[in-house]
Each structure stands twice: as C-alpha cells, then as structure tokens.
Amino acid sequence: MSSRSKVTDQGSSTAGHGIVRRRGAVLALLIAVVFVVFVLVGAKILVDRSVYTPVAMGPVDAPAADSATCAEITDDLPDRIGDYRDVGVVDPAPDGSAGYRDSGGTELSLRCGVNAPGQYTLLSSVQDSGGEQWLQIADATPGSELTTWYSVGHSPVVAVTTDGRISASDLSDLGEVIARHGDSANAPAPADVPLADQSATHSDDCSALENALPDNLGEYRRLAPDSVSPDTAEAIDGSLVWVADGREPVVLRCGVDLPDSYEAGAQLTQIDEVPWFQDTALAEGSTAGVWYALGYADTVAVSLPLDAGNSVLTAVSEAIDDTLERTAEQ
C-alpha cells in the first residue's frame, strides 16, 4: 500500500509541475501579446502625430471668409472628407479655413467665402453631391496635380483643394453642411461663354471649316448644341465648343474681327501654314488665352486653355488651311 501511494504522489507531483509550466507559458505568451499590442499602439500614435499634423495656410482672396455664414459652415464641418480627416490649421488660421490630411499625409485645404472661379461659365459641367453643385477645376500650371472643387449652388462659395485623389461623391457630407447653412438664392451666376461677345460673319468657308474640324481635340470632345440647355445653346450659337472634365473649354469662332491689341509687326506664332496672334489678356480668374489665325479671308478666333497644348492649334491650323481662302498677302 505504501509503495502504491508513493507512486501516486510522484505522478501527482509531475502533473502539477506540468500544469505550472503550461500556465507559465500561457502567461508569457499573453505578456508577449500585450507587449506587441502596446508597441503597435505606440507606433501608431507616433505615426499619427507625424502624419496628421495641422495644415499651414496663407492668406487668399476670400471676401466672405469672415461672414457669419462661413463661421456656421466651418463650425459644422464633417470630421472626414472622403479619405481625409480633420487635422486643423496652423495658427494663425485664416478665417473660414479648415485643414485635412489622409493616411499618407496628403493635404486637403478648405476655404469658405472665396470668389467663384472665372472658369465657371454656362459651359461648365457641375456635379451634385450632398445637395450642393460642385465645379471641378484642375490647376493649369505645368506639372501641377492640384484640383479644386468649388461649391457653386449656394453663397458663400467653398473651395476644396488637394493634389491627392478626391471625387464629387467624397464631398457629400460637406455638401449637406453647405446646403444647410448657405443661401441658394444668391448662388454665383455662371459667366458668359468665351468669345460670345465677338460678332462673326458666318461665310460658306466658315461652314466648311466647321465640318472639317474633328470631334476630338486631344482630351477635348466636341459639344453638341442639342446636349445643352436652351440658354447655353443660344450662348454658343455661331461657335464650336470642345469640353473636357476639369478644364476650361476650347471655343472657336470663325469670321471675327481682329482685336484692338493687334498691331502691324506684332509677334506671331507659325503653326504649319497658319500664322497666329495671341491676345495675352486673360479674363479674371481664367487661364484661357485667345488666338487669332491671320492671313485668310475669314479670321478665326480660338479661346484656348493654357494647358490644352499645341496639338489643338495644330489640328485647327490644318483644317483652316484646307478650307479657308488665303488673302493676297499670304
């Protein structure tokens, strides 16, 4: 009996040590897991602090930025706009401003009370998001990837700018805020269509030119008059229009007069067989210049965004030389 009892005691002792060892291993594992979690949490906090820093902003022309409505809008802004989260603005923060960043640190700036862009015309394509009308404008500066979305359905106008990815659908929550506080009755009115103020004599050669021009000029596509509102169709009567998302339109008008800025001996740019004169005066807020084709019985004017490239004028020059009558001087 004593021998059997001794064996039993040894077995119990061995089992007890095994349980203790397993408990120790489990405890060590739990400690290791907790340690890893703390390390990851700490690392995330450090990364967040280095990535989600306030956005620095300088002064801009925003005449309504200090208005009561802009104060209401900025006080009611969503914590997130798409993938961007609110990080604040470096002091001293301009009136009507807010700053956001995404997980990669890309900035998104918001300005309330700015002027409506000069690019906003009857030809502009706007998108509805959150009950607000949004106009997308791409920066025409070479190499720039900045895009600004302007709210044009209410007053005051809000501008959202980033060089990262953002779509109209990402602006839904912000659109609801603007629609809730803004004034739709005083929303900015679209400007006239480029060249609409220039009278034109529509000759048979001009009709031939219009028929010879392509439906696409690079990324620009030809706008059909029956695809727009009656007011817009009336505004573009006598002109050809090509449009592209986020860009000012290309507008062509045949049979116009030369501008007052043109003088004999003015610098011309030769593209294929066509000499062009560029009127360097820009409309306020616009990035489009007007080019005039010389040396033909019908003078052609083209309103051309600065970032449209020479390919547009090259295609137009070819069609002009094929269809219009040259003058004796040419």
pTM here is 0.75
Going across the sheet that includes 239-243, the strands are 216-217, 220-222, 239-243, 250-254, 300-305, 288-293, 274-279, 269-271
Residue 222 lies in a domain: yes
pLDDT at 103: 92
CA distances for 215 relative to 68, 222, 315, angstroms: 47, 5, 11
Return d(Cα 94, Cα 197) in angstroms, integer.
38
Average pLDDT over residues 190-211: 89
pLDDT digits (tens, 9 = 90+) for 86-102: 999 999 999 999 999 99
Residue 43 lies in a domain: no
Residue 35 lies in a domain: no
pLDDT at 143: 81
Q: How many helices (H) and strands (E) does the chain have?
A: 6, 16
Residue 192 lies in a domain: no
Residue 195 lies in a domain: no
pLDDT digits (tens, 9 = 90+) for 141-181: 778 889 999 999 999 999 999 999 999 999 999 999 999 99
The reply to whether 135 and 109 lie within a common domain is yes
Residue 171 lies in a domain: yes
Domain assignment of residue 247, given as a range: 204-323
The reply to whether 167 and 210 lie within a common domain is no
92 preceded by a cis bond (ω within 30 of 0): yes
The reply to whether 181 and 208 lie within a common domain is no
The reply to whether 115 and 74 lie within a common domain is yes
pLDDT at 185: 97
The reply to whether 309 and 243 lie within a common domain is yes
Is 80 exceeded by the pLDDT of residue 192? yes
Q: Closest by alpha carbon to 110, among 102, 98, 101, 100?
A: 98
pLDDT at 283: 55
**Largest Cα–Cα separation, the chain:** 134
Is 80 exceeded by the pLDDT of residue 281? no
Q: Closest by alpha carbon to 283, among 209, 196, 215?
A: 196
Residue found under tokens 């560029």: 278
Return d(Cα 46, Cα 44) in angstroms, integer.
5
Q: Bridge partners of 107?
A: 101
Q: Which of 139, 155, 186 is the last residue of a domain?
A: 186
Contact 206, 254 (CB under 8 A): yes
Q: Which of 186, 215, 248 is the last residue of a domain?
A: 186
pLDDT digits (tens, 9 = 90+) for 219-272: 899 998 888 888 888 888 899 999 988 788 999 999 999 988 898 888 999 999
The total number of structural domains that make up the chain: 2
Banded model confidence at residue 305, pLDDT cuts 50, 70, 90: confident
The reply to whether 170 and 233 lie within a common domain is no
The reply to whether 110 and 179 lie within a common domain is yes
pLDDT at 7: 46
The reply to whether 180 and 215 lie within a common domain is no
The reply to whether 72 and 160 lie within a common domain is yes
Q: Which of 186, 213, 233 is the last residue of a domain?
A: 186
Return d(Cα 280, Cα 277) in angstroms, integer.
9
The reply to whether 223 and 273 lie within a common domain is yes
The reply to whether 164 and 232 lie within a common domain is no
Residue 53 lies in a domain: no
Residue found under tokens 């009857």: 122
Rg (C-alpha) for the chain, rounded Å, is: 32
Banded model confidence at residue 140, pLDDT cuts 50, 70, 90: confident
Report percent pLDDT > 90 for the chain.
58
Q: Closest by alpha carbon to 221, among 129, 123, 301, 288?
A: 123
Q: Closest by alpha carbon to 191, among 284, 141, 250, 121?
A: 121
The reply to whether 172 and 73 lie within a common domain is yes
State the DSSP H helix or E strand holding residue 309, giving kind and residue range, or none if neither: none
Question: Phi and psi (nearest 5°) for 192?
Answer: -65, 160
Banded model confidence at residue 1, pLDDT cuts 50, 70, 90: very low
CATH number at residue 287: 3.40.1000
Name the average pLDDT for the chain: 86
Residue 92 lies in a domain: yes
What does the angle CA 150 – CA 243 – CA 319 come to, to the nearest 5 degrees? Answer: 155
